[in-house]
A and B are shown apart, each in its own frame.
Chain A
Amino acid sequence: MNGTNYNLVQAIRGPIMLILLGTLVAMDYFGVYGFSRTWPMLIIAFGLLKLLEKLVVRPMAPPHDNRPQGGNVI
């Protein structure tokens, strides 16, 4: 299930960025906020989506962890 979620989050990143880009430009054209002021939202959204990806994946993050476990040594 988590693998599917990971794929899903990765897949929706593109469309969401596209929708956001369209919205910002439309807002510029209709005089709400200028694109020159709102463009950082694109970076923020991209960062958030990346973060979401990580959050979704983290629970099953170390599927093949080969590092020695400290407890076992002692």
Chain B
Amino acid sequence: MRRGSVIGPLILIVIGALFLMRNLWPDIPLADLISRYWPFVLIAWGGLRLLEIFFAAVTSRPVPRNGISGGEWMLVFLICIIGGTMYTARHYASWFPAGRAWRGVMVNMGEPYDYTLAATEKPCARNCRVLIESFRGNAKITGGNEAVVRASGRETIRSFQQSDADNANKETPLELIQQGDQIIVRTNQDRVSDRTRVNSDVEITVPMGSSIEAHGRQGDFDIQNINGSVDIGSDNAGVRLENIGGDVRVDLRRSDIIRAVGVKGTVDLKGRGQDVELQNIDGQVNVGGTYVGQIQLRNLAQPLRYEDPLITVSLEKLPGQIHMGLGEFTGNNLIGPIRLNARSRDVQMSDFTQSLDLTLDRGDVELRPGKTVPKIEVHTRSGDIDLAVPAGTKLDLKASTDRGEAHNDFGAPLTVEESHRGATIVGNSGGPQVRLETGRGAVTVRKAGTEDVTFPNISSPPEAPKPPEAAKPPLKVERQ
């Protein structure tokens, strides 16, 4: 008869001990340990059984016919399945369907835990370069008078267990690393597993002369009083810049707002987003991307190049302002040569000089040039054109519609010539050449009244930049 093996009782003892551990020391990450070390149970089992067999052989007791019986193999199979599943679940959370979306759900299901990041500082040249490494959260960067970089902040860690959050907090210190003449600000968020999400709100003070390069995954950048250049790239960010001495480059995959007020250098915007507000920019402004919100441009001292799949604008100088919203363009006090090209856009423009070249697929046009009428060329396939010029202005005008009416409210020397379905207003008293053409719509030329000086519906100047939204106070959970 076969003597019972010690393995069965041992397995019972081990299972009992594991449950006891869980009850006595709940902090021990038992599930993690089991998921990682269960293969050693198989090894130990096999090893013990081997010892038993040799012992039996040496003491000349009957050796069992099968070292491991069929039922035991079933148990092994079960252990493999459970252990393998636990390991996969623990270590390959990103394998789950829909990757990031699922992770987002997982992460938002956890509790937020709040930690203060230890403040740190490093001396640095007055014109040093500060690199902010890829992180998630909000950064507020301010130029100061001292030649030192200081960083402090707090972080919110979402996790299912406080022990996980505590560990994540230990692994993600806020560090300043000196590398040549540049300082790297590192939040070490990549060190934590996918099951916890770290969000840092960092406040950084840098020497006023430094230049900033920042990469983020999600969160806002709020940068003030920097004399160097600013270079920001992010997957999803709101950017607020104020009083920047150098060039500004912003490349975002998504953004709710980009606001820059007071930039001495050039401004380059790329990517996609909602609102854009640029004000008091001394350098050239290049906007290339898709911005679907409200666009406000004010007081640009150098040329503007705005290229969007829906509208292209270029002009030499903007002492006044431009507002663009969905399907509309309003401009006041622009210095040309102005070129505007759009698919579907209602255009209102007042007080512009040099020359205007306006081409639309569809949209109404209202023009109020200032006292001196520049050379104007307008084409729209479908839409009304309304031109108001001061009384007595000398014009070489030809305004035609292929299908529609022409109204001459300006009077002599302009005359209306009716054609088959359309009409043309012509007149030449010398002066700048004005050509207005619409495929379908009314054409009106009239004397500007006092109410026509500017368009009143341009909203008031923007309020001061808002600081990034403070995170909601996270739930604090006391450990029992």
By a beta-carbon cutoff of 8 Å, the part of chain A in contact with chain B is 4, 7-8, 10-26, 29
Contact = CB atoms under 8 A, between A and B. Distances in A.
Contact of A8 (B53, B80, B83): B53
A17 B80 CA distance: 14
Given A14-B49, A15-B50, A29-B36, A23 B43 contact: yes
Interface in B18-54: 36-37, 39-47, 49-50, 53-54
B118 interface: no
A15 B68 contact: yes
Contacts of A11: 53, 63-67
A16 to B, nearest CB: 7
Contacts of B76: 18, 21
Nearest to A10: B65
Nearest to B41: A22
A30 to B, nearest CB: 9
Interface string B119-133: 000000000000000
15 contacts: A4-B57, A8-B57, A14-B67, A14-B73, A15-B47, A15-B53, A15-B67, A16-B46, A18-B45, A18-B46, A19-B50, A21-B42, A22-B46, A25-B80, A26-B39
Shortest beta-carbon contacts, A-B, top 10: A14-B68, A22-B42, A14-B67, A18-B46, A19-B46, A22-B43, A25-B39, A26-B39, A15-B49, A15-B46
Nearest to B44: A22
A22 B50 contact: no
Contacts of A14: 46, 49, 66-69, 72-73
B379 to A, nearest CB: 65
A19 B63 contact: no
A19 B66 contact: no
Contacts of A15: 45-47, 49-50, 53, 67-68
Contact of A10 (B54, B66, B83): B66
A13 B67 CA distance: 7
B291 interface: no
B87 interface: yes
A41 to B, nearest CB: 14
Nearest to B62: A7
A61 B1 CA distance: 27
B21 to A, nearest CB: 21
B325 to A, nearest CB: 55
Nearest to B69: A14
Contacts of B50: 12, 15-16, 19
Contacts of B68: 14-15, 17-18
A13 to B, nearest CB: 6
B39 A23 contact: yes
Contacts of B63: 4, 7-8, 11
A21 B155 CA distance: 43
A45 to B, nearest CB: 12
Given A7-B65, A8-B63, A15-B47, A22 B53 contact: no
Contacts of A12: 50, 53-54, 67
B43 A19 contact: yes
Interface string B299-334: 000000000000000000000000000000000000
A27 to B, nearest CB: 9
Contacts of A7: 62-63, 65
B65 A22 contact: no
B451 to A, nearest CB: 77
A8 B55 CA distance: 11
B49 A18 contact: yes
A14 to B, nearest CB: 3
A26 B40 contact: yes
Contacts of B41: 22
A59 to B, nearest CB: 18
Contacts of B39: 21-26, 29
Contacts of B67: 10-16
Contacts of B42: 18-19, 21-22, 25
A51 B337 CA distance: 92
Contacts of B80: 21, 25
A21 B72 CA distance: 14
Given A4-B63, A8-B53, A26-B40, 5 more contacts: A10-B65, A14-B69, A19-B42, A21-B39, A26-B43
Contacts of A21: 39, 42, 76, 80
A15 to B, nearest CB: 4
Contacts of B54: 12
Tell which of A7, A12, A22, A29 has the most Cβ of chain B within 10 Å.
Answer: A22
B39 to A, nearest CB: 4
